[in-house]
Every structure is written in structure tokens, then in C-alpha cells.
Amino acid sequence: MKGGTVQINWHDTKPVLTLDFHPISGLLATGGADYDIKLWVINSGQAQKKIATATYLNSLTYHGSAVNVLRFSPSGELLASGADGGELIIWKLHSTETGQTWKVLKNLLFHRKDVLDLEWSADSAYLISGSVDNSCIIWDVNKGSVHQLLDGHFHYVQGVAWDPLAKYIASLSSDRTCRIYVNKPQTKTKGAEKMNYVSQHVITKAEQQMVNNSKSTKTHLFHDETLPSFFRRLAWSPDGSFLLVPAGSYKMSAASETVNTAYAFSRMDLSRPAVMLPGASKPVVAVRFCPVAFNLRGLASGISSLINFY
């Protein structure tokens, strides 16, 4: 696989802070410090055997501050965007005589400070947000109201991720903890179950055997609040087998330098990392899985290389 720079486009020379691809059309949305959301049509160029191109489509103008994060819903019908000052907007796709357009559907009000990350539930009915006010909020998008407040962190919540199988939610904060919440539904009076997430794991330190030392010690897994980034965006694999968490730090010995890393947690045991992915020259601040499943070279046709971790 080879990669290269396709084209350079601008947000009025301001920083670009977030991007996301539409799950169906492949439309690219970008947001940044110019307060706008810009939409781009990506042409892969494969049919003409040419280099890929990006064509500006239009801008969505509503936010009054920097757009920190935006995410299309899995259904493709909605777009959520979070900004400084607690702004959280839901946009809806409308069909017109001349094509399609995005219009503001709801303004979700509760966060007191900057919204730094967002993630949709698999059914596009709920949304989770993380904020500088140290909280995570699960939103009922249809009602436009808060479904549940998760307020266990003691510093900025810089990343949130929703398990595609809807059992877990994960959040990552500059308080050096990754929190895992599990869904334990509450039974309502009419027999229906109400989604309810409770804390299952608070991951902050791990026992480590130091090199040339028979003793083990507990060390912090993540960088502290001095990490120069507003974002620590974690992600679940598309099948829910793994949770990939950035902002990791690791030491081979007490005297050695800190190694920047990301951690992979297995669904089988979300209390501790299963795999470490070191090598970055600077702290890892965001991770994302490719949604396409690949087969290993050399496998016979029809044989899957995917492993079942359940």
C-alpha cells in the first residue's frame, strides 16, 4: 500500500482540527478554527487511472467558535459537530430539487465548556460527547436531551469511543485514566429496558517488571496533563474486538527515557493492555481503524484471516 499527498486545501489558513467521511457517499467533512464545516467531494481517480482529487462543495456556517470535532452518524442521515464553549449541533441531510443540503436539526445544550470529542451509537439514536468540563454526556438525539451524565473524570475528557456492539463505552482524560463503562439496563415500569452505563474499569497504572531488576513496580500508562494536545481520541475496531487507546507512555527501566505508544485492549479483558504499539517520535494523540477488512496474502479464496475474540 502506498500513500501520498493528493491535494492541499485551506480553512482560511486556520488549523484543521477534525475530519470525517460519510459512511455511504464518501463525502468528506472538515472542521477547524475558522468556525466553519467544509464539505468536499473526493474522486479516487481509479476509474480514469488518475491521481485522486478533492473538490470543495460548500460550507456549513453556524458555530460561533472553533469546531473541534465532527462525526457522521452510521445511518448517514445526521452529522454532529462540537465546538468551543460547549456548542454541540446536530445537522440533518435534506433532499432538494437541486441536490442535497445539510440543515441544523438540534442544538444540544448542557456542556459548560469546550466539546472535544464525539461518537455515535451504532443505531444512530444516541451520541456521546466529552468535554473540558470533565464530563461525558450520553444524548438521546431524537429527544434532544441528556440521557445520562458520566462525571467520573477529574480533568478534561479528550476522547470517547462507543463499542459497535453497544455493550461498552470508553473515555480517555488528561487525568491519566481511561474509563470503561458497561451497559447494565434498568427495567422501567412498563417492562422496557433503559440503557444505563456504569463504571467497570478505571485504567491508570500497570504492574511492570523493570529490566535488570527483580522487583516489579506500578507505572502510569498515560501521559499527564502537560501533554501539548487538546485531543486523545481512542477508537474501537469495527468488529468490537479491540479498543485502541492513544497518549500512552512506557519506560523499560526507571532510568530509561519515556517511550510514546498506543495500547490495544482486548475485548476479552479490558482491564489491562494486551498489546503495546510503540515507535512514535511524539505522543500519540489520535487513532482510527480502517473500516475495510483485508485478507492476508497467500490465503486460499474464501478463507478469512479474521480472528474471533469473543
Model confidence, pTM:
0.89
Instruction: Count Cβ atoms below 10 Å from residue 36 Cβ, excluding itself.
Output: 18
pLDDT digits (tens, 9 = 90+) for 60-112: 999 999 999 999 999 999 999 999 999 999 999 998 888 889 999 999 999 99
Cα-Cα-Cα-Cα torsion 11, 86, 146, 170, nearest 10 degrees, comes to 70
Q: How many helices (H) and strands (E) does the chain have?
A: 0, 24
Instruction: Count Cβ atoms below 10 Å from residue 167 Cβ, excluding itself.
Output: 14
CATH dotted code for 1-151: 2.130.10.10
Beta carbons of 205 and 220 less than 8 angstroms apart: yes
pLDDT of residue 13: 86
Q: Name residues whose C-beta falls within 8 Å of residue 256's C-beta, 6 or more positions apart in sequence.
A: 211
pLDDT of residue 301: 59
With a cut of 50, list the residues of the chain below it in pLDDT: 309-310
Cα-Cα-Cα-Cα torsion 32, 14, 26, 23, nearest 10 degrees, comes to -20
- How many angstroms separate the CA atoms of 171 and 138, rounded? 12
pLDDT of residue 310: 45
The span from the first CA to the last CA of the chain, in angstroms, equals 30
pLDDT digits (tens, 9 = 90+) for 283-304: 999 999 998 888 888 766 555 5
Q: Where are the domains of the chain?
A: 1-151, 177-290
pLDDT of residue 306: 53
